[in-house]
Structure 1
């Protein structure tokens, strides 16, 4: 029990460290933008306590790349509108519960009438409430509004500046999933040869827990596309990221077919059956090719060599007779299905990928089994 708790704690800590790596640039960007906004408001505008400048920069940037410039612009307008309404109202009527009621209602109503999104309307209300509950600062008139505008402008500039790492991350995430898929295949071969039931079930459990990794690939591709669309310096990456988005679909299919294969292997090992040695050899060869595809993806290499190796595995699969046993047929069919998925992943269209699988007399090419 204690060991399981320790394992969960270690996994949780590892997940948090991974999350920190993922959002580390975001955090540094927010902190830098806040500091720059404060400096500009303090020394360029001459405001002694520019509270709203860093607040507007942080709130506007957030922690997401999705539709970033549009979202930053919306939040900036919402913050500025809320501060403007609050500043004007408090300047005339002072601070109090009634003033808060009127200011928040007015700011959100104006934002809604401007056909704003939910984010803008919410920020208008939040910022107007802050202004209405704070005592007037040393900057008279529209000083706090100018601070908010200053922070928003800094956030807009910062939003357009992104590093290359989020654009590389889809390939890195996809390569990680492929290496995990290759590891399943290697462990499957070992589990059958050694009749290791514990290893077979442990490998199946890892495969069933792979949804998070696949979701990470799709999220990374989506974030990358958002960057390519919003940053004027990253537009050239758009076609590559669109290809990565399509690739994630093929990767998902290959992983699902791998799970079907693993479920059958647990039956084989539990019943103390044996698979045709040629199938195990094919599976080991396939694992090696998958590792090569992962390296191609990560290093942005053309996958021609890996595609040829996949086609060779497909040709060799025709030498394995069908009808010998149910387990042989199921595992062989899944190996072929995975080859089809991986051929598509390397750039072949669906018809060419299926045509690459040779058939025996009276046999039809295998369809995918998406489980």
Structure 2
């Protein structure tokens, strides 16, 4: 099994949060400078607050979501200021402010982030500030803070898109690898319960894979709007092009495991090469994770994936039932998807799989039945 020494959790978390801390500190200081020193506001505390809220709530999210947060903070503060100016503050006013903030955010089609930030910012104004002062000044402070946050996160100190994507890819690919290795153990032991557990684990991997895809989209926007990160486009392309194919492979593997589970329950013969093949497929996913992380051509992942499909081809010589034949076919399909995730074109991936699996020893008509 492929292994890699892991960084202690607290160090990994601290390292992951360092850039966010630097962004938040820079944005808060700049927001105060712009609102206080350049605009002449005496105590513009909502400017740094809005900047920090926008940055802290937008980690790994898309630019549109961040803009929603900025607008939500500003709208909530503006509503709170306006109502307090007109009718004062108190429990009824707080309830009315939240009601109007949520209605307005919903009416413009905002998501949960816009609604929550509008309401919470309105409550903050109603409970922590007085009705004295010029109207709408805090609303403008919030806009200044939000604008500064957007400039910091996209131009002055953007997150490294590769770091964001790798951080999201790691749990997705590890879950895929672990599920395959569990499945290999279940097949080797002819234990349907272990196999079912592996299947459940791979079903749960949809969540990390969805987060992986979202991180890719966010990173694409980061690269587009942050000139300092344009050089990351080439390395990011591996993830952008490979993620959809990995998702296809994951789904094909789940089909594979359901059929393997049926084979065990039906007491079909399970050749020893099948769990070996599934284990190699898990190793291939782990190697892909490591090679993507190093930014190198995923040669080792391709070789291990083809080894997996070659091992599965020997199952025909040892003898398989109907479900076992489907398992071999799904290994072949999953490997083809994995090869495409490494950058191999469709036609070439299919050719390599055909060559690796071979046709000797297969029953008449098997080529037609298991072809992609």
Answering whether residue 216 of structure 2 is matched by residue 224 of structure 1, we say no
| Normalised TM-score (structure 1) | 0.69
Alpha-carbon distance change, 154 to 326 in structure 1, aligned in 2, over 3 angstroms: same
Q: Which moved more, 1:185-194 or 1:253-262?
A: 185-194
CA contact (8 A) 2:184 2:278 kept: yes
Answering whether residue 169 of structure 2 is matched by residue 174 of structure 1, we say yes
Alpha-carbon distance change, 90 to 276 in structure 1, aligned in 2, over 3 angstroms: closer
Residue 321 of structure 1: SS of its match in structure 2? helix
Residue 249 of structure 1: SS of its match in structure 2? helix
Deviation by residue 1:301-360 (Cα, 9 ceiling, x = unmatched): 211233234334444544442774113212211221121111111111111111112352
CA contact (8 A) 2:183 2:195 kept: yes
| Normalised TM-score (structure 2) | 0.69
Alpha-carbon distance change, 218 to 192 in structure 1, aligned in 2, over 3 angstroms: same
Answering whether residue 121 of structure 2 is matched by residue 162 of structure 1, we say no
Residue 356 of structure 1: SS of its match in structure 2? helix
Deviation by residue 1:261-300 (Cα, 9 ceiling, x = unmatched): 2222323333444411233332333333332222112221
Alpha-carbon distance change, 220 to 325 in structure 1, aligned in 2, over 3 angstroms: same
Answering whether residue 45 of structure 2 is matched by residue 51 of structure 1, we say yes
CA contact (8 A) 2:81 2:125 kept: yes
- Which of 195, 198, 204 aligns to 2:190? It is 195
Alpha-carbon distance change, 347 to 83 in structure 1, aligned in 2, over 3 angstroms: closer
CA RMSD of aligned residues (A): 4.6
CA contact (8 A) 1:74 1:117 kept: no
**Structure with max Cα Rg:** 1
Q: Counterpart of 1:253?
A: 248
Answering whether residue 314 of structure 2 is matched by residue 332 of structure 1, we say no
Answering whether residue 284 of structure 2 is matched by residue 296 of structure 1, we say no
Q: Counterpart of 2:282?
A: 287
Q: Counterpart of 1:4?
A: none
CA contact (8 A) 2:276 2:311 kept: no
Q: What is the rounded CA distance, in whole Å, between the counterparts of 2:110 and 2:38 in structure 1?
A: 32
Q: What is the rounded CA distance, in whole Å, between the counterparts of 2:315 and 2:200 in structure 1?
A: 28
Alpha-carbon distance change, 155 to 185 in structure 1, aligned in 2, over 3 angstroms: closer
Q: Counterpart of 2:209?
A: 214
Answering whether residue 27 of structure 2 is matched by residue 33 of structure 1, we say yes
Q: What is the rounded CA distance, in whole Å, between the counterparts of 2:262 and 2:79 in structure 1?
A: 69
Q: What is the rounded CA distance, in whole Å, between the counterparts of 2:298 and 2:131 in structure 1?
A: 64
- Which of 322, 331, 340 aligns to 1:344? It is 340
Q: Which moved more, 1:223-232 or 1:29-38?
A: 29-38
Q: Counterpart of 2:264?
A: 269
Q: Which moved more, 1:305-314 or 1:260-269?
A: 305-314
Q: What is the rounded CA distance, in whole Å, between the counterparts of 2:140 and 2:67 in structure 1?
A: 16
Q: What is the rounded CA distance, in whole Å, between the counterparts of 1:27 and 1:47 in structure 2?
A: 26
TM-fit CA distance, 1:252: 1.0
Q: What is the rounded CA distance, in whole Å, between the counterparts of 1:85 and 1:316 in structure 2?
A: 67
Alpha-carbon distance change, 311 to 73 in structure 1, aligned in 2, over 3 angstroms: closer
Q: Counterpart of 1:8?
A: none
TM-fit CA distance, 1:239: 4.5
Matches within 5 A, 1:110-189: 135=130, 137=132, 147-148=141-142, 150-160=144-154, 161-164=157-160, 166-189=161-184
Q: Which moved more, 1:348-357 or 1:270-279?
A: 270-279
